[in-house]
């Protein structure tokens, strides 16, 4: 099944680095992949290696034609010294050599057209268990194969196992781009859709195996067994297609509420399926900002004032919003990288005048004193926080804080 319309327009997509210094990012580590497709946000956190040691970083070289998407070498690669890398300074200080991820001619439907224009059939390499791995695909592509299939990969295991993703699928280690169809074995619409959505940025299309005759596959209602499950096959295809189109819904929603007359909007840069541990989609926020006519606030991953400023600069939003990080450090927007004792005192002074449930007070204090952001130690150690949680009333809390504060300050 060719991925339409997303893959058919892949050469129109732009790839943008998302804050290498914030969220779960590190100079060596986590990545997030953002795409735009004819003005619509696309997949986030789409790397099959996101949780593996072999992480990759994606970014757009500013000023290049939009059809030139680039894929960085692994994060352990040496820093790039080419002039083009200097364009990335505003986005990330870790400059990694880049090479094309995929070119327009890797789109399956275009390959059919090219072959037809040349008066020949399309030459393809079949999915072969154990054999149709990257090195073989690259070899046959060099000798005239237009489109290569991977071996069948079980979608369920692929979705659940980092080991399976790293073992079953490898990205090309050089500038050579091999048009690739990734074949999945699946009997669940949700499993197939999830795997398809994850891999859409990395392949030219996906294939649902409905022909494997092996007994183990048929026993699991995979492969040829699906020939007797026509409605299931239809549901699998429909779910995958729908999943690939869903990311454009935010744009339509924004237009609806804008037309209704809202004064401003706040957008959390994650999908509802994403966990808070995953970085926000800064590229999508930037794209949405260009389509919003009212003031826009960006929510998510605002853990320091510097990051707040960076998000605002990268996306053009009118304001930033913080939740959990502000709970841990109420002085965040004052430039403090970690909660100071003064903020704890300010909170307690105000709680006395505007009471809230005692358990909530203790929870606030636990959050504020446990945060050691900015490389600073937490205000309270583990044992001290345990003692705080054992306080039975406000008087005990105040006495405890006074005692610990004087000890930690050496007074």
Sequence-separated (6 or more) residues with CB below 8 Å from residue 352: 394
Q: How far apart are CA 300 and CA 69, in angstroms?
A: 26
176-193 mean pLDDT? 88
Domain residue ranges of the chain, discontinuous segments joined by + = 7-248, 341-408
Q: How far apart are CA 275 and CA 3, in angstroms?
A: 26
Cα 262 to Cα 254, 255, 287, 322, distances in angstroms: 10, 10, 19, 21
Specify the pLDDT at position 312.
94
Q: How far apart are CA 280 and CA 24, in angstroms?
A: 10
Q: If one looks up domain 7-248 in CATH, what number appears?
A: 3.20.20
From the list 80, 148, 210, 212, the catalytic residue is 212
Whole-number average pLDDT of the chain: 72
The yes-or-no verdict on residue 79 having pLDDT over 80 is no
| pLDDT tens-digit map of 256-272 | 889 899 999 999 988 77
Q: Which residue has the higher pLDDT, 247 or 292?
A: 292
Cα-based angle 34, 35, 39 (whole degrees, multiple of 5): 130
Q: How far apart are CA 33 and CA 284, in angstroms?
A: 10
The helix/strand/coil state of 284 is helix
Map tokens 């490389």 to a residue: 375
The helix/strand/coil state of 347 is helix
340-369 mean pLDDT? 92
Quick one: pLDDT band at residue 173, thresholds 50, 70, 90?
Answer: low
% pLDDT > 90, the chain: 36
212 in active site:
yes
- Closest C-alpha among 266, 401, 257, 379 to residue 329: 379
Specify the pLDDT at position 251.
77
- Enter the tokens of residue 353: 């005048």
């Amino acid at each position: 099944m060719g991925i339409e319309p997303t893959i058919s327009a892949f050469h129109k997509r732009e790839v943008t680095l998302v804050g290498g210094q914030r969220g779960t990012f590190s100079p060596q580590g986590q990545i997030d992949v953002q795409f735009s497709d004819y003005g619509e946000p696309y997949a986030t956190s789409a790397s099959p290696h996101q949780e593996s040691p072999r992480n990759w970083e994606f970014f757009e070289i500013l000023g290049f034609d939009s059809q030139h998407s680039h894929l960085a070498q692994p994060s352990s690669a040496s820093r790039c010294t080419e002039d083009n890398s200097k364009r990335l300074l505003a986005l990330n200080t870790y400059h990694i050599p880049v090479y094309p991820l995929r070119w327009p001619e890797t789109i399956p439907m275009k390959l059919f057209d090219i072959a037809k224009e040349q008066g020949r059939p399309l030459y393809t390499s079949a999915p072969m268990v154990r054999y149709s791995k990257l090195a073989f695909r690259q070899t046959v592509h060099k000798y005239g194969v237009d489109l290569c299939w991977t071996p069948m990969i079980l979608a369920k295991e692929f979705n659940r196992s980092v080991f399976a993703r790293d073992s079953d699928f490898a990205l090309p280690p050089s500038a050579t781009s091999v048009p690739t169809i990734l074949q999945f074995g699946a009997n669940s619409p949700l499993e197939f859709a999830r795997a398809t959505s994850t891999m859409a940025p990395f392949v030219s299309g996906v294939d649902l195996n409905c022909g494997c005759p092996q007994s183990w596959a048929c026993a699991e209602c995979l492969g040829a067994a699906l020939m007797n499950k026509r409605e299931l096959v239809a549901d699998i295809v429909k779910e995958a297609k729908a999943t690939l189109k869903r990311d454009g819904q935010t744009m339509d929603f924004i237009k609806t509420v804008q037309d209704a007359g809202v004064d401003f909007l706040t957008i959390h840069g994650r999908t509802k399926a994403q966990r808070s541990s995953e970085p926000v989609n800064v590229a999508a926020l930037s794209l949405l900002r260009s389509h919003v006519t009212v003031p826009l606030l960006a929510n998510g991953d605002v853990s320091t004032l510097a990051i707040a400023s960076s998000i605002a600069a990268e996306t053009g939003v009118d304001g930033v919003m913080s939740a959990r990080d502000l709970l841990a450090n109420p002085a965040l927007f004052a430039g403090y990288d970690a909660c100071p004792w003064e903020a704890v005192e300010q909170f307690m002074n105000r709680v006395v005048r505007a009471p809230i449930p005692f358990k909530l007070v203790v929870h606030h204090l636990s959050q504020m004193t446990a945060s050691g952001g900015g490389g600073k130690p937490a205000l309270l150690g583990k044992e001290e926080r345990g003692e705080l949680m054992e306080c039975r009333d406000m008087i005990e809390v105040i006495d405890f804080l006074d005692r610990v504060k004087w000890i930690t300050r050496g007074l």
